A and B are shown apart, each in its own frame.
Chain A
């Protein structure tokens, strides 16, 4: 038979044990998150640090862990090696903006049609479009290059813009969002008000797609801006290089100019950083939009 002292201590001991476990679990969770964040941010940090050091300093053991004073010199070196760097940046931005704009238009139009209309073969067509997501990207590389070559679009921005103008992921996102967030009665009210079908999409539905358009725009812009393989296949002249190709071209057979490469990479990443800081909240909202009934 347990003593009265042991019986009285048990509940308090259980509470204390529970508290210790809770605190330990919280520390472990935060610790894991901090470690993950550190691992993901470390390359970016070192990219920025290396952009301000000479090649010799970068290749030293251990490498520098704080900013140096060679940023401008590295920039001058980059522009000397690649005088068309700013042109390439403009080209990258133009292609990313064009692809994003076209994606927003075509994907929203297709998503609206799939969400709001019934027509013969609808589900089969949608299934076919979704099936394209299952194909590995490299499967379409050779046909795309051959097609761009036949069209005479090699070294032209439209060789990257047109193939990327509409994607299955965007259509899927739009269909899901429009199906759940846009009431059919709104479309019918517009029909009663005399709108044409395109007018209903343009004047009534599109203005209500802010959250999902923002998400798709961010995802598409980032993907298009960072597109390396696609650009590698169709942009062969240095004048037509996008930024990923310019950075790759700095890694020559005679050695890598790490300082110029790092400053080039840092400048390349800047637009994305600005976008992310400005719109990260919208990205998260857009990804979870429709998940919970409002």
Chain B
């Protein structure tokens, strides 16, 4: 049975530091779950991973693997295995020796070591490499050996610290698929740290977004993508990033034509049925819309914009448009190639109301709209 992990009020303060790196962090990871920690550099995700591994002391709080409190246990005693960013293979040992090293330290006899190494090598298709030294391996091969070294000990928890960041783009895609397959095969609890949102979105069953030592939001990839809890999560996930338009909600009784509106800066607005907009939208200050949820309309409809750039990517088209009152150009993504749109053209922008995320003055997300905005 897979081991769940529980973190209660976890804190980390380095000696001599003015403030805590991590404070009061709570998180539950289900047994067998693949959870991804994602966030910008210096947000504390690797620090937390290292605390789970036992490589960093826990300054406050309680860490449990299942029912067992593991705060003071050594890494090997916790039953955790880690795959490092730089692979950390022992350069003076062969691949077989690297794979079997953990078992050797655990007291396994030679026959047990050889059997386990052989099995893992077959699973990862690295049997022909067993007698080579790490310097004779490619990046992808080294990564497989590093993963194999973790697997061979049959740990309760797998920990990955940006394991794909040293690989080229093609190999990264390949290894991502393999990691996903591995998780399905082994069913072990896995915690994966990355700063790459594509890895986060494709690998994780759930994602925890970190910022300055705090968890901003935990949820499934699509929950975080379509329903970010705040501006930080909204802007961190997605490429191009989520469009943010300064706006205010004007109720139907106050607007000129009797229809409720989301007024976007000085560029017009979107009509919203009163019944569709929740009461919380009175506090809306920014409207967040994903590039694929915006659509082009004839000028005069929706929000007025002027096209600044059209990028034809083959499978899709990204149109950048300037809206008066917005600091950054908005991005629209449409499937396929798009003809008849050029830079300088004035257009209108519309969106699906359900896809629109409202944010208040503090950057917190408001309740979703129920209808269409046109």
Report the bound CA distance from A193 to B76 in whole Å: 6
Report the bound CA distance from A1 to B102 in whole Å: 86
Q: Does B332 contact A (CB under 8 A)?
A: no
Q: Does A83 contact B (CB under 8 A)?
A: no
Report the bound CA distance from A207 to B88 in whole Å: 15
Contact with B along A178-201 (1 / 0, CB 8 A): 000001011011111111000100
Which residues from 161 to 217 on chain A have a C-beta closer than 8 Å to any C-beta of chain B?
A: 183, 185-186, 188-195, 199, 204, 207-208
Which chain A residue lies CB-closest to B85? A185
Contact partners of B102 in chain A: CB under 8 A: 192-194
Main secondary structure of the interface of B (DSSP, over half): loop
Q: Does B259 contact A (CB under 8 A)?
A: no
Contact call A189/B91, Cβ cutoff below 8 A: no
Contact call B92/A192, Cβ cutoff below 8 A: no
Contact call B92/A186, Cβ cutoff below 8 A: no
Contact call B53/A192, Cβ cutoff below 8 A: yes
Contact partners of B105 in chain A: CB under 8 A: 193-195, 199
Q: Does B81 contact A (CB under 8 A)?
A: yes
Contact call A185/B88, Cβ cutoff below 8 A: yes
Q: Does B80 contact A (CB under 8 A)?
A: yes
Contact call B76/A189, Cβ cutoff below 8 A: no
Contact partners of A204 in chain B: CB under 8 A: 90
Contact partners of B101 in chain A: CB under 8 A: 190, 193
How far is the CB of A178 from the nearest CB of chain B, in Å? Answer: 14
Q: How large is the interface on A (under 10, 10 to 19, 20 to 34, 35 or more residues)?
A: 10 to 19
Report the bound CA distance from A140 to B88 in whole Å: 44
Contact with A along B84-97 (1 / 0, CB 8 A): 11101111100000
Contact call A186/B55, Cβ cutoff below 8 A: no
Contact call A188/B92, Cβ cutoff below 8 A: no
Report the bound CA distance from A207 to B89 in whole Å: 14
Contact call A183/B75, Cβ cutoff below 8 A: no
Report the bound CA distance from A221 to B55 in whole Å: 39
> Given A191-B55, A191-B75, A193-B102 in contact, is the A185-B92 Cβ separation under 8 Å?
no
Contact partners of B89 in chain A: CB under 8 A: 189
Q: How large is the interface on B (under 10, 10 to 19, 20 to 34, 35 or more residues)?
A: 20 to 34
Contact call B82/A192, Cβ cutoff below 8 A: yes
Q: Does B339 contact A (CB under 8 A)?
A: no
Contact partners of B54 in chain A: CB under 8 A: 191-192
Contact call A188/B76, Cβ cutoff below 8 A: no
How far is the CB of B370 from the nearest CB of chain A, in Å? Answer: 50
Contact call A194/B76, Cβ cutoff below 8 A: yes
Q: Among B88, B106, B153, which residue has its beta carbon within 8 angstroms of that of A189?
A: B88
Contact partners of B82 in chain A: CB under 8 A: 188-189, 192
Report the bound CA distance from A193 to B90 in whole Å: 11
How far is the CB of A277 from the nearest CB of chain B, in Å? Answer: 27
Contact partners of B84 in chain A: CB under 8 A: 185, 188-189
Which chain A residue lies CB-closest to B76? A194
Contact call A192/B91, Cβ cutoff below 8 A: no
Contact call B80/A192, Cβ cutoff below 8 A: yes
Contact call A186/B75, Cβ cutoff below 8 A: no
Contact call A183/B86, Cβ cutoff below 8 A: yes
Which chain A residue lies CB-closest to B152? A193
Max chain B C-beta neighbours (<10 A), residue from A189, A194, A208: A189
Contact call A192/B86, Cβ cutoff below 8 A: no
Which chain A residue lies CB-closest to B81? A192
Report the bound CA distance from A183 to B149 in whole Å: 18
Contact with B along A250-278 (1 / 0, CB 8 A): 00000000000000000000000000000
How far is the CB of B78 from the nearest CB of chain A, in Å? Answer: 9
Q: Among A183, A188, A207, which residue has its beta carbon within 8 angstroms of that of B55?
A: A188
How far is the CB of A176 from the nearest CB of chain B, in Å? Answer: 19
Which chain B residue lies CB-closest to A191? B75
Contact call A194/B106, Cβ cutoff below 8 A: yes
Report the bound CA distance from A278 to B149 in whole Å: 38
Contact partners of A192 in chain B: CB under 8 A: 53-55, 75-76, 80-82, 102
Return 29 A-B CB contacts under 8 Å, by A number. A183-B88, A185-B86, A186-B88, A188-B84, A188-B88, A189-B82, A189-B84, A189-B88, A189-B90, A189-B149, A190-B101, A191-B54, A191-B74, A191-B76, A192-B55, A192-B76, A192-B81, A192-B82, A193-B76, A193-B102, A193-B105, A194-B74, A194-B75, A194-B76, A194-B105, A195-B105, A199-B105, A207-B92, A208-B92
7 new A-B pairs (CB below 8 Å) besides A192-B80, A193-B102, A207-B92? A185-B88, A189-B82, A189-B149, A191-B75, A192-B54, A193-B149, A194-B75
Question: Closest 7 interchain pairs by CB?
Answer: A194-B76, A189-B88, A194-B105, A193-B102, A185-B88, A207-B92, A192-B75
Residues in chain B within 8 A of chain A (CB atoms): 53-55, 74-76, 80-82, 84-86, 88-92, 101-102, 105-106, 149, 153
Residues in chain A within 8 A of chain B (CB atoms): 183, 185-186, 188-195, 199, 204, 207-208
